[in-house]
Structure 1
Amino acid sequence: MQLETVKSFILWVLVGISFVLSFALWSYRPNFEELPQNVVEESTSLGGSEKSIKELIEPDSIIFENDNTYYGFSNPADRNSLYQDMHKWSLYEFRTSSANGTPSGKYRVEVIFPEVVPMELADDLFTFNGDINMPGWGFKRLFFTFNQDTKTMNVTFLSDDGNKQAMATVNNSEKYAQLWEYLTTFEGLSKYIRTEGAEGSIYVPGNQQSISSKSIAVEKIDPKLMVDTLFTDPDIVRRNRVNENEIYFTDSARGIMRVYTNRRTVEFQNPLQSSYEQMEPAELIDKSRLNINDHQGWTDEYNLMAVNTNASNNKVRYQMYYEGYPIFGSNYSSVIEQQYRETELHQYNRPLFRLVNYLGGDEATKLISGARVIDKLSSSSSYHMDQVYDIKVGYCLTYKSDADAVMLEPAWFMDYNGSWQKIDFSNLSPQQEGGN
């Protein structure tokens, strides 16, 4: 009898343990970390980098004036190095006033940008002491003038129309001595000549230029990366081949992207935005910069070259550079260009390659002197100097599709009536360069 009681007791204990274990198993909730409800996929990368405002807006000339004689850097790398240093100079006593053209002075340093820079962005380019309320106009030239008694410098940002100016002071004797040495010893400088163009003074190297052509291997950018970047739903994008050298991609809604395989360029247009809303230049530059940063689209060195904002157009263009010289090619092979409508991306054109390895071994090309360039243009019946906005040495790009390489040939170029052209001295016939 006692044995049966013990067996029953053990059975009830086992049943009780079973119930406890079952309840514990049913009620157990593992402590998994919950995933965010809105997971954002990593942005597509073209394999380039992200850029700041100061990395994209750089001068194409720094001119040293000593008693009506002019000098510029013989090596563009020295110009870039000085400008990078200028970023860090402390600017004090900021003030604005009306102006009557360029500041006077026997000794001046003139920094010239390829496009008008909104004063709103000056704070991104230079180091101002204190909080500054920037004016709403833009500048293309800034000047350093010298106070010899105090060893300080005045910095003048001249408005594009020459009627307004913003001034600040550099109270640093070391930087004063640095610029003063250039102005008096001309070390590392070459003589430049000055001529008048459509928007004021143009400076070109006076002597003959000797620059090597370059053969450079390129790395192709997969068009699918652009599809992933530009289309909302890449999975529904259809690919169609028009001919041997042209392929277009479309989702029948968002837009059309055309890829030209023989020159490795892409042209995208989104037709949905039908009307323009004029943007402020600073807003357009920064919006474009952030858009290209988002897919790491700065695949080579690019600098701001042109900004156009009005009631019918919000366009920004960045020019490819190599070793301090601008590169000019045809059909967007050397520029990144974007256009916005209603603050949304409407057009995007760019190269689908990046420069990688210098193949080397090319002999130097001797270009005619800047003095002869000015003389030929001034006496030409094909050109008029009042329509010449700028003149500079650069590279002419030719894409070698059979070798996955580009050839960069040095040449003279000019901005004629708002369009960059290679100067053809054989017949002085304008030939379009640098884009559509």
Structure 2
Amino acid sequence: MQFETVKSFLLCVLVGISLLLTFALWSYKPDIERFTEDVVEDSTDLGGTEETMDSLVAPASIIFSNGDNYFGFTDPNDRKSLYEDIQSWSLYDFRTTSSNGPPSETNQVEIVFPDSIPMALAGNLFKVNGDVNFPEWGFERIFITFNQDTNSMNMIFLSENGDQQATAVVNNSEKHERLWEYLTTYEGLSEFSRVETAGRTFYVPSNRVEVSTKSIAVQSINSRHMVDALFTNSDLVSRNRVSENEIYFTDSARGIMRVYPNRRTMEFQNPLETSYEQMDPVELLKQSSANINDHRGWTDDYHLMDLNINGSANTVSYQMYYEGYPIFGNNYSSIIEQQYRAEVLYQYNRPLFDLGNYLGEDDSSELMSGSEVIDHLENSSDYDMEKVYDIKVGYDLTYQSDADAITLDPSWFMDYNGSWQKIDFQDDSQQHREGT
């Protein structure tokens, strides 16, 4: 009897231990990063905004012409403000005709875009009234001319090769007066010089440019967010550290993503997508912007930089801006670039940080004038001016090694033979002049 009692007691103990172990297993939460469905839904939001076509496509410059005198905004934020106002204008009597190049009026406004924009997007960028059949060509420049008798204006979209144009009428005396005032008072404007090369016509500031160096805190974007955004099943993605400055993600099927922590960038490629089909440029822009909107990838101020459709790729690039100036960096530290094949995302390269709090600035300094830059290039044996497509002031991005911050140093940059690069003045201090 005593033996049976002991057995019963041991059985009760074993059952109790079993229940405790079962409860522990059910309630145990391992301290590892898991990609559950709820986490995927949250983590695919990079914390940026959703953008529309009219905010992504913006001009690189707006030039006021008075005969052979040219003026542009001293503060690039004023250019942005005017362009946003122009986008709200009502455009009437849209018509397409042949052209002999830019209009010849003495007083006119020229809006210059960084690349050719499909005319089919005009309805997305501007307030075009009526049913319009947009032509298939693209434009890089819009000209605004004045009708003084009626206080109206003509907005002229000039085709890329200059042999076609689309014209719309702006019947708004208030807008007419605002633009005409710029051409008569030059308030907020600085003198620019017109430069013509074999590549294209562009404008540079005639006088020295005053821009301060900026220090800005940055916040890193968790690479897991991009894993969730780019891979169909994040549970199948393996993570391998190739070196201190490179981490390799792959699902052994759809894609390969390389993350570079030292420069806070990522590069994704879908190696299985080898077929190529040339896309319509409008569809490419719409698909690219929608893809980035899906994970709220516009973490800073980005604008269309390049739209390239050729025999091997459908590529679109967006450049980061700060206070109206473009930012230039290395290895996609200031560029979002996507490439599509057969309407499927093939490559996606971008920064893995967003700009945070403004930390301060150095003493104000002056860059050499655009005229001095042109003289330097024309007298340099290292450059061929016929390969210079554009020149502009921008920020040179560098990382501060001792902090989560970047430095934006104003410098001169040029589009040389289709690729943007910082202009080499040999002694870099030559392009900076001490402020007064």
- Global fold match (TM > 0.5): yes
Q: Distance in 2 between matches of 1:200 and 1:107?
A: 21
Partner of 2:183: 183
Q: Judge conservation of contact 2:62–2:73 (CA < 8 Å) in 1.
A: yes
Q: Distance in 1 between matches of 2:410 and 2:323?
A: 12
The amino acid that maps onto 2:287 is K
The amino acid that maps onto 1:155 is M
Q: Distance in 2 between matches of 1:131 and 1:247?
A: 52
Partner of 1:24: none
Q: How many residues align?
A: 391
Structure 2 alignment gaps of length 5 or more: 1-37, 429-436
The amino acid that maps onto 1:154 is N
Partner of 2:98: 98
Which secondary structure state, in structure 2, belongs to the residue aligned with residue 120 of structure 1?
helix
Which residues in structure 2 correspond to 1:219-230 (within 5 Å)?
219-230=219-230
Partner of 1:294: 294
Partner of 1:116: 116
Partner of 1:422: 422
Matched, 1:52 2:52: yes
Partner of 1:386: 386
* Cα distance per residue 1:350-405 (max 9 Å; x no partner): 00000010000421221100110111112222212211111000000012353111
Which secondary structure state, in structure 1, belongs to the residue aligned with residue 330 of structure 2?
coil
Partner of 1:150: 150
The amino acid that maps onto 1:293 is N
Matched, 1:329 2:308: no
TM-score (norm 1): 0.88
Q: Which sits farther off after the overlay, 372-381 or 238-247? A: 372-381
Q: Distance in 1 between matches of 2:198 and 2:148?
A: 34
The amino acid that maps onto 2:118 is P
Which secondary structure state, in structure 2, belongs to the residue aligned with residue 382 of structure 1?
coil
> Larger Cα Rg: Structure 1 or Structure 2?
1
Which secondary structure state, in structure 2, belongs to the residue aligned with residue 100 of structure 1?
coil
Q: Judge conservation of contact 1:262–1:401 (CA < 8 Å) in 2.
A: no
The amino acid that maps onto 1:425 is F
Which secondary structure state, in structure 2, belongs to the residue aligned with residue 358 of structure 1?
strand
Matched, 1:174 2:174: yes
Over aligned residues, Cα RMSD in angstroms? 1.6
Q: Distance in 1 between matches of 2:215 and 2:200?
A: 36
Q: Distance in 1 between matches of 2:164 and 2:427?
A: 42
Matched, 1:352 2:352: yes
Deviation at 1:162, TM superposition (A): 0.7
Q: Judge conservation of contact 2:200–2:390 (CA < 8 Å) in 1.
A: no
Identity %: 63
Q: Distance in 2 between matches of 1:229 and 1:406?
A: 26
The amino acid that maps onto 2:119 is M
Q: Judge conservation of contact 2:213–2:361 (CA < 8 Å) in 1.
A: no
Q: Distance in 1 between matches of 2:115 and 2:238?
A: 39
Q: Distance in 2 between matches of 1:377 and 1:158?
A: 29
Q: Distance in 1 between matches of 2:313 and 2:348?
A: 14
Which residues in structure 2 correspond to 1:34-53 (within 5 Å)?
42=41, 44-53=44-53
Q: Distance in 1 between matches of 2:338 and 2:80?
A: 26
Deviation at 1:427, TM superposition (A): 7.0
Matched, 1:253 2:273: no
Which secondary structure state, in structure 2, belongs to the residue aligned with residue 409 of structure 1?
strand
Q: Judge conservation of contact 1:196–1:385 (CA < 8 Å) in 2.
A: no
Deviation at 1:42, TM superposition (A): 3.6
Q: Judge conservation of contact 1:314–1:339 (CA < 8 Å) in 2.
A: yes
Which secondary structure state, in structure 1, belongs to the residue aligned with residue 360 of structure 2?
coil
Deviation at 1:426, TM superposition (A): 1.7
Q: Distance in 2 between matches of 1:223 and 1:347?
A: 16
